[in-house]
Amino acid sequence: MLEPRPPARLWLVTAIMAAVIVYGSLYPFDFRVPARGIGPLATFLASWDQRPGRGDFVANILLYLPFGFCFLLGFRRGPFIPVALLLAALAGALLSLSIELIQYYDAGRVTAASDFYSNTIGTLVGGLAALAIGASFRLPFIGEIPARPIPTLLLLSWLAYRLYPYVPTIDLHKYWNALKPIVLTPSLDAYDLFRQTAVWLTLYALIEAIVRNRRSAFLALLFAAAVLCARVLIIDTVLRVAELAGAGLAFVIWLGLLTLPARLRAGLAALALCAYVVALRLEPFQFQPVGRGFGWAPFLSLMRGSLVVDSLAFLEKFFLYGSMLYLLGTALARGLPATILVAVMLFATSWAQTYLPGRSAELTDTLIALTIAVIFALLPTERDTPATASRTRLTARERRLRDWQRDQARALGVKLDG
């Protein structure tokens, strides 16, 4: 049954997501009245048939997807799901329309109906994703993916980042261009190998967290093969030796880690990922004697580039920081210490970036990690899913039946095994 009143904390997260959208869409808040303008509504209506670029269209969908996801997060499956989706779409549409009209007065911003369309679609996609998290269905060879929402979301965020622009081609010449770096000019750098190995090791750990059985090694290998083949098929992408070698080396390491306890292997994978993130944030390791000022205004670096670049950067950060939070939380069996460790690490490396040339030293990454931790805390756990609840009820019935049988057997003087 659909719960019409989600917990207040879920609405708080939704409001935070809306505030982030408003902040990012209207920054730097340089408002003025355009000279000889036709007005915000007329400008909006005049652009109804303008076709957006593929990158901007996808980026605008991704921008509103978290809002739709959080809006639906507090609801459950039931007969009123269409109403919930309609409310989510209406909320996203109203938010997007308001921002588009206000952007008419914001210098450097453009009012476009195409953004309104893509934002509304993004809200719907996010709502559907939230509903899928609470769904109960099984996939062949995999099982109940929605029962493990956190590793599933992390895996999907990496795929969305890594497989952009998502458009396959049947051009054989493109396939050859994608394989040229491997066939004609193979080269393997130690740092690239470490980076790819750490990322693939994290991916294998997430797959194992979703599947949780002995098929995880086979599915990890299948996943790696599918992603690498997709990289060859998708336009504007190339394969490098480090990707192949990193995926293979990580798989060999993962086979060894599968012999260890679950918390220990999660901790080792988390340590490898943390080492990579620290190295990534401290490149090129050329520290200057005098540091720059620290940026306390959040999300500035994510708003100075193109919308496509910013969206892909956010997806990558969501995967990296979210995976650290999840794997460290699994290893420590507690989420709060993992959140503190990740937040301190990101803040410390951000502060160190004040001594690195060309790096944006600011509070953004720490806030992103804290926001991800809050979202993870609000997501339903495996025991909250309908399928798990059903198994729990069945176990309770079996326990009652067993107790009744024992009582009857005791009354008859018969001893039962077990």
| pLDDT per residue as tens digits for the range 196-230 | 999 999 999 999 998 876 678 889 999 999 999 99
CB 269 within 8 A of CB 331: no
Least Cα distance to 202 among 332, 323, 333, 345 occurs for 323
Question: pLDDT at position 296, please?
Answer: 85
Residue 143 three-state SS: strand
Mean pLDDT for all residues in the chain: 82
What is d(CA 247, CA 239) in angstroms, rounded to the nearest whole number? 12
pLDDT higher than threshold 70 for residue 75: no
Please give the sequence-ordered ranges of beta strands (E in DSSP) within 175-217, or none if there are none.
none
As a whole number of angstroms, the longest Cα–Cα distance in the chain is 98
- For residue 223, how many other CB atoms are within 10 A of its CB? 19
Sign of CA dihedral 269, 275, 278, 282: negative
Query: Which helix H or strand E contains 225, and what residues bound it?
Result: helix 216-233
- For residue 82, how many other CB atoms are within 10 A of its CB? 9
Q: Which amino acid is it at 77?
A: R
Highest mean pLDDT: which of 20-24, 123-127, 208-212?
Answer: 123-127
CB 45 within 8 A of CB 101: no
Scored b (16 or more CB within 10 A) or e, 352-375 reads bbbbbeebbbbbbbbbbbbbbbeb
Burial (CB count <10 Å: 0-12, 13-18, 19+), residue 383 = exposed
pTM of the model: 0.79
Lowest mean pLDDT segment, chosen from 73-82, 272-281, 331-340, 383-392: 383-392
Opening angle at CA 206, ends 280 and 157, nearest 5: 60
| pLDDT per residue as tens digits for the range 309-344 | 888 888 999 999 999 999 999 999 888 999 999 999
Residue 108, phi then psi, degrees to nearest 5: 85, -5
What string of DSSP letters covers 278-330?
HHHHHTT----SS----B-STTSTTTSS-HHHHHHHHHHHHHHHHHHHHHHHH
